[in-house]
Amino acid sequence: MYALRDPELRFDELKRATGGRSKTVSDALDVLSENDLITRRTEEAAPIAVYYRLTEKGETLVSRLDDVSQWAVEWMDAVDDPDDFRRRLR
**Banded pLDDT at 79 (limits 50, 70, 90):** low
Query: Which helix (H) or strand (E) is 14 found in, with range?
Result: helix 11-18
In this prediction, residues 30-42 reach a mean pLDDT of: 95
What's the chain's average pLDDT?
A: 87
56 pLDDT more than 70: yes
pLDDT, position 42: 92
Of residues 76 and 50, more confidently modeled: 50
pLDDT, position 27: 95
pLDDT, position 89: 67
